[in-house]
Structure 1
Amino acid sequence: MQIFSIFAFIIVTLIAYVKWSQTHWKRRRVPHLEPSFLFGNFENPIISKSKRSMPAHFLEFYRKLKEKGLKCGGVYTYFAPMFVIADPAYNKHILLKNFHEFHIRDFYCNKKDQPVSLNLVTSEGEDWRKLRIKFNPTFTTAKMKIMFDLMMEVAKSMGNYFRGHATRKIPINAKQCGEYYTTDIVATCSFGLDCNSFKNSTFSDLVKHLMHDSFRFTRISFCFAFPKLANFLGVPLFIPKPTQYICDLLDKTVKERVGSNIARKDFRQIIMDLKRQHEINDTEAHGHCVLFLLAGFETMGVALTFALFELAVNQEIQTRLRNEINKVLNKYGGESSYEAIYSIKYLDMFINEILRKYPPVAILNRTSVTDVRLPDADFVIEKGTKIVIPVIGFHHDPEYFPEPDKFDPERFSMENKQNVKPYAYIPFGDGPRSCIGERFAKQALKVGIFSIVKGYKLKLNPTVKLPLEFESSFGLVPATDILVDIQEANQVIR
């Protein structure tokens, strides 16, 4: 009986604590969305059939706040309070203008049980500033030109892959192709690894397994909402076994470089130099490498997947892009050079629209480092408040992008891009903590899309039923495989 009483007391106390926690915004008189018990504004992950991703939830929060006429407001991830932004002017205030008040990203990092989860993204304060300065030289124009040739080699492998499918009249799986391409791009440009996933997908499958597991949403959302508790319980950010395999492989490349006295101007070399200068240790080196590999795999893979999809669906856009490519190639004597690809304006417009409709970084999170009052707000954001900027919400808001579900590269023409509301389009974030790999990602996409459209005509396989439903862990990834029929264009692949 006494044990039952103690158990009942614990249950009642926990219920009372949850209910009290879910009055956080009400007690502070901050506009908010009303939560449900325990799960807050999230759906119940146990009984829900939709299994929506984190970005999908915050897209819904954004729309509900806008419906209420609010520029921002509180929500609850389970019973943890989060503050959601729904006005682009506040994006500028947080990311750039008053960066010093919101410079903490507050990403989950389990340094004790999985020290490899400490990296450039999860680092804070002076540690982050020093690392950012060290890594900035990775993506200078000179380095990007060097990486261009490496990217073209990967694109040739993809071209051979396409040619084989076209010859045998076998459709391309767009998502799989995106994963293979981006794995090889990051592996060769950043670590000097020759994976050739189009022939042997072992390494790409390993990275995919590291990114996506059965309990990813539950684990990530829990860590996102309760980082201290997750740390106490030892919840890993990455699946341990494949993470260790990748770290061992990276160590092997270092030994080979040192033994052969090879120095490459890539990301791995910067990591090696930092270790030599005793500015980072082995574990931190592994963390930065794993981050760069996973970030590139997810963001560029998503973008290329949907580039193939939109090209296959929008035949007029595909034809125009091919015509623009041929026009520029004729100007450059048929040479697929760095200068040629960067002069194709419509290719740039196309990629910008891909990044709008399918943002690689679907949500941005920050934490206030002091009590802050946003402009025109009659309440204070307290120190330590977790803030979320739902990039996906702004990118799909008809106020800023009419007919947001329509794929239209003309939004980013020279005439129209000046009409885009400032800070309503932030595919890689903005300010001092914007994505350091933006130039790298865009160039990889340009090379990939250029090589595909130049050599092949794409059409959506008739077995694919529209509309498709898209979900992911970080952004939008197809839940249904996108199959694309291909045939060779009437020109030689260079």
Structure 2
Amino acid sequence: MELLHRTILTTLGALSLIYVLIKFSLGYWKRRGILHEKPKFLWGNIKGVLPGKRHMYEALQFIYDNYKERAPFVGFYACIKPFVFVLDLDLVRHILVTDAGHFTTRGLYHNVNNEPLSGNLLQLDGHKWRALHAQTKGVFTPSNMQKLLPQLLQVQAEFQNTLATKVKERQTINISELVDNYNTDVISSLAFGLSGNSLQFPQTEFHQMTRNYWNNFKLWKAYLSLEFPTLARLLQHKSYDECASEYFQKLVHTQLQQQRNTQRRDGEQLFNFLQFFSATERPLSDVQIAAQAFGFILAGMVPLNATLSFCLYELALKPELQERTRLEINKVLQQHNGLTAESLRELKYTKQVLNETLRLHTPYPFLLRRTTKSFEVPKSVFVIAHGNNVIIPTAAIHRDASIYEEPLRFDPARFEAKAVNVRSDMSFLPFGAGLRGCIAQQFAEMQLLVGLVALLQHHRYTPCADTVIPLQYDTRKLLLVPKTDIRLIVERIDSK
């Protein structure tokens, strides 16, 4: 009886202590005197997000709509973790560009010793990120991107040829799988030095591993690793499937050895990122190169798949826009005898279509930063303290009716030059901006543009009985992706 009594008292004491700590954490913004939405116990301002009942972007949109223009930022809680929720675009510019030196950290979980693939540019922070960024920024120069174009066009041609043999008459196609095959081919070839056609051979080991590496992902696990990174490292928490991690590391090591043992004349060489990472002024180790190659899958695969899928979905619903895009593609390609660096630059309307897709269906609905030193907000009495976590609601900004009239309407004309020039450059942030913006933005844009050309040049897309209208997002994911695969009718057409 005495033991039971002690156990009950100990449990009650522990629960009371936890309760006090949670209440203390949820009182952070009140103690600071910062305007904020009253948090719910345990959930903060994201009730329903972790169980998958609503998407994170919805929680952010609610705060943005209710507090915009009331302050440059407000307090926000992701469960019990306090965040600076940025509302003012001038403050966004200070954080991402002008005073980016105060915000060089993202605060993402990584554990290089236990999980080497987490040592990529997306996840690393502090001196490790600064050193790696200095070593690799020369990889993503415009001249290197041009060197990659022939290899990208080869992948595109193989994909397009296979697509032509598979689609000979009107039929319903899983668009999500279709664009995934294209992006898998691009990343396997240009980031890992492989060759193959996923549309023709979809069950390759590489193809499977790009789907399996995050098999155990749970929103609550990701949150706990962010909230308690030291404990997660002590418990040797791993974000990625071990078999997939071992596969990518071995694959890169094998590919690097083959490239080092193969001599080619410059005129015959097709370049890939493994070569560029190997040739940096301060060479990276094989493990570091593997982490950077994996970064293309981690940061690029899902958002690129979603963007092309959403784009075809929107064009299927608006056949006049689809036809205009196709006419431009065929006209420009005819003038330049195919895809070249010059013809890609002239696909202005096609780029507008992609940008409007990125605006309306922003893959990354928010950006994260953490202050490395206190920052006084210009023209105000506010201070973002050292160590504060910062969240910039990109999807909410992209759907701000004061910036984009009728924001839920798909309209590529928003990205005509005259329209872009009257908006703040911080009103469109699909790749972030500044020091910790997407370092591979130019390559990602080129990959999307070449992919859309391949998909639209000879094929028309229309809705079918299986097309979910209106579109729904998967509330179990942090990124904006379709809840179910997008399916459309695809038919082969002759070029005009």
Give the TM-score of the pair, scaled to structure 2.
0.91
Q: Gaps spanning 5+ residues in structure 2: where?
A: none
Residue aligning to 1:154: 155
Partner residue, 1:173:
174
1:159 CA displacement:
2.0
Q: Provide closer, same or farther for how the CA distance between residues 471 and 49 of structure 1 changes in structure 2, counting only shifts above 3 A.
A: closer
Superposition pairs of residues 199-348 of structure 1, within 5 angstroms? 199-201=200-202, 202=204, 203-211=206-214, 213=215, 215-261=217-263, 265-273=271-279, 279-332=283-336, 334-348=337-351
Q: In structure 2, do the counterparts of structure 1 residues 58 and 112 end up closer, same or farther at CA, with 3 Å as the change threshold?
A: farther
Residue number in structure 1 paired with 2:36 = 32
Contact 2:108 2:226 in 1 (8 A): yes
Q: CA deviation at 1:167?
A: 1.7
- Paired AA for residue 271 in structure 1: F
1:384 to 2:387 alignment: yes
Superposed displacement of residue 83, structure 1: 1.2
Check whether the contact 1:165–1:172 (CA below 8 A) recurs between aligned residues: no
Match of 1:436 among 436, 439, 451: 439
Range with bigger deviation, 157-166 or 351-360: 157-166
Compared CA separation, residues 321 and 168, structure 1 to 2 (3 A): closer
Distance of 1:243 and 1:29 partners within structure 2: 45
Give me the whole-angstrom Cα distance separating, in 2, the residues matched to 1:327 and 1:426: 30
How far is 1:294 from its partner? 2.2
Structure 2 letter corresponding to 1:166: V
Larger mean Cα displacement after TM superposition, 165-174 or 407-416: 165-174
Give the letter for the 1:247 counterpart. Q
Q: What whole-Å deviation, never above 9, does each CA across 1:28-85 have from its counterpart, x for those lacking one? A: 1111111111121122467x462x444443333333433x834311111111111111
- d(CA) in 2 for partners of 1:44 and 1:325? 44
- Counterpart CA distance in 2 for 1:460 and 1:483 is 8
Deviation at 1:131, TM superposition (A): 2.5
Change (3 A) 1:59 1:204: farther
Q: How many angstroms does 1:447 deviate by?
A: 0.7
1:4-153 matches, within 5 Å, as 4-44=8-48, 48=51, 50=53, 52-66=54-68, 69-153=70-154
1:430 CA drift (Å): 0.9
Shift of 1:474: 4.3
Q: 2:404 aligns with which of 382, 401, 421?
A: 401
CA contact (8 A) 2:190 2:272 kept: yes
- What is aligned with 1:412? 415
Structure 1 pair 278–428 and aligned structure 2 pair: CA distance change class (3 A): closer
Matched residue, 2:460: 457
Shift of 1:136: 2.6
Aligned CA distance change for structure 1 residues 44 and 335 (closer, same or farther; 3 Å): closer
8 Å CA contact retained: 2:72, 2:88: yes
Runs of 4+ in 1 over 6 A off after TM superposition: none
CA distance in 2, matches of 1:161, 1:474: 33
Give 3-state SS (helix, strand or coil) of 2:171's partner: coil
Within 2, Cα distance between the matches of 1:64 and 1:193? 49
Q: Which residue of 2 aligns with 1:425?
A: 428
- Alpha-carbon RMSD across the aligned residues, in angstroms, is 2.3
The alignment partner of 2:325 has SS state of helix
Q: Do 2:364 and 2:430's aligned partners in 1 also have CA atoms closer than 8 Å? A: yes
What SS class does the counterpart of residue 309 from structure 2 fall into? helix
Cα pair distance change 1:385/1:5, threshold 3 Å: same
CA drift of 1:358 comes to 2.1
Q: Which stretch has the larger CA shift, 151-160 or 9-18?
A: 151-160
Give the Cα–Cα distance (whole angstroms) in 1 for the partners of residues 179 and 59 of structure 2: 25
- SS in structure 1 at match of 2:465: coil
Identity of aligned residues (%): 27
345-354 or 130-139, larger mean C-alpha shift: 130-139
Amino acid at match of 2:363: P
Report the residue type matching 2:438 in the other structure: C
| In structure 2, distance between residues paired with 1:260 and 1:6 | 67
Report the CA distance shift for 1:280/1:463 in structure 2 as closer, same or farther (over 3 A).
Answer: closer
Deviation at 1:411, TM superposition (A): 0.4
CA distance in structure 2 between the partners assigned to 1:42 and 1:442 by the alignment? 32
Per-residue CA deviations over 1:168-221 (Å, capped at 9, x if unaligned) read 54322121122211111112112211132112223223212224x354322222
CA contact (8 A) 1:39 1:78 kept: yes
Question: Bigger CA drift: 88-97 or 55-64?
Answer: 55-64
Alignment CA distance shift 1:286-1:93 (3 Å) = same
Cα displacement string for residues 289-337 of structure 1 (whole angstroms, at most 9, x for unaligned residues):
21123222122212111121112111011111112122223332x4332
Structure 2 partner of 1:480: 484
Match of 2:427, SS? coil
Letter in 1 for 2:409: K
The one-letter amino acid paired with 1:230 is A
Distance 1:337 1:59 in 2: 40
Task: Determine helix, strand or coil for the equivalent of 1:470.
Answer: coil
Letter in 2 for 1:442: E
Q: Contact (CA 8 Å) 1:162, 1:172: kept in 2 or not?
A: no
Aligned length: 485
AA at the equivalent of 1:109: H
Superposition deviation, residue 98 in structure 1: 1.1
Q: What is the CA–CA distance in structure 2 between the aligned matches of 1:114 and 1:259, rounded to whole Å?
A: 28
Question: 8 Å contact 1:174–1:481 — kept in the other structure?
Answer: yes
